Copies of this chain bind each other. A is one copy, B any other.
Amino acid sequence: MNKIRTAVIGAGYIGVVHIEQLLRLPGVEIAGIVDKNTSLAKSVAARYGIPKVYGDAGEALLDDSVDVIHNCTPNNLHFEINRHAIESGKEVFSEKPLALTVAESGELVRLAEKHNTVTGIGFCYRYYPVVQEAAARIKRGDIGEVYNIMGNYFQDWLLYDTDYSWRLDSRMAGASNILSDLGSHWCDLAQFMSGLEIEEVIADTRTTLPIRKRPKTGETLTFGKAGNIEFEDVPITLDEYGSMLIKFKGGARGTFTTSQLAAGRKCNIDIQIYGSRGSIAWNHERPAELWIGRRDEANQTFFESPLLQTEETRKYAKLPSGHPMGYMDATLNLFSDFYAAVYAKREGLTITNSSPDFAAGHAEMRVLEAAIKSRDTGAWIKVRHSG
């Protein structure tokens, strides 16, 4: 069987995460790589034995031997590359957010439908085995009607004013840093796990540190450590703190808090879902565990397990019970589902894309739009469901 051929656009942190997981898919080969930083692209290609370094993204899109594009560029490039990739007849896996505006993400959804594109988006946290398990259990009614959802997404890599990132620059990151970067992940989790749509929100954000020091030469890498370098003061307009009250369709309520200034929380995603018959909670610091709350019995801690999970989620728990999976394995699960749809399409089979697609990415853009409007007006704002 011929392998699926994939090109990766962007050789930064997230691009390398993609490459490392693509290596684990026996049916996929990495055809080539692109980065505006050519020497970075070359060194990544050499390290991973990738045969081709394209001159630019356009060249990759024109390469007829390429089946799939992985879009691992900064936010402001997502839309254009996604659009061209669809129009070039490639299948597309994009990092989130899909685009900078709802208009753009909506257009991508429409285009992908028109071109029958298999699309995927990097909502990787869905793919821890017990997150899938939680969603399956809630769907089958284990906790009854969902009453409320509470959670947070906390990091601390922007705590000091010497921590600079392109994510704080509105030209590259859009109207909000934190709600777009972390908020989109959490809202996707909340909607995916509960099966409920976010209907109305009121949000608050804060730019806690309005001046930051940016390295004069080069750029601070996400999660990287600044060395002994010269800085210049940069006024910051984008937020590193955000919060939301949420109303879900059907009446359930939610609260969400997010910050990149939360000392000691490296990548702490917490989601607690309370229902009429029980509760389920998950925290990314102990990603193999679900907490299951009960009123009249002892609470439970459920560990990921190919034996104890429900039929439909057990394929995501690939190791014997007690052998914990990690972030990379979750990403591999995500890619496996996406590529299953790509294979199916190639083989002319019915395409079932279980992975989050561009519609899921667009859904988060619409929530983001309402959040920003509510922040700006101080009032509850309904999420638009058309457009």
**Residues in A lying within 8 Å of B, measured CB to CB:** 3, 13, 17, 20, 23-24, 26-27, 47-49, 143, 147-148, 150, 152, 154-157, 159-160, 202, 204, 206, 208, 222-223, 225, 241, 243, 245, 247, 251, 253, 255-257, 259, 261-268, 274-279, 284-287, 290-303, 305, 307-308, 319-329, 378-380
Contact = CB atoms under 8 A, between A and B. Distances in A.
Contacts of A241: 147-148, 253
Nearest to A287: B324
Contact of A302 (B223, B298, B324): B298
Nearest to A264: B293
Contact of A253 (B3, B243, B278, B319): B243
Contacts of A148: 206, 241, 257, 259, 261-262
A279 B257 CA distance: 15
Q: Is the interface of A mostly helix, strand, loop or mixed?
A: loop
Given A243-B253, A322-B265, A274 B259 contact: yes
Given A148-B241, A159-B276, A223-B321, 4 more contacts: A147-B241, A243-B255, A292-B298, A298-B308
A294 B264 contact: yes
Given A49-B27, A327-B325, A278 B296 contact: no
A267 B159 contact: no
Given A26-B23, A253-B243, A321-B266, A296 B308 contact: yes
Contacts of A256: 255
A179 to B, nearest CB: 14
Given A279-B263, A300-B301, A303-B266, A24 B23 contact: yes
A167 to B, nearest CB: 14
A109 B277 CA distance: 43
Contacts of A284: 322, 324
Question: Residue among A23, A155, A308 with the most chain B CB within 10 A?
Answer: A308
A268 to B, nearest CB: 7
Contacts of A295: 156, 159-160, 263-264
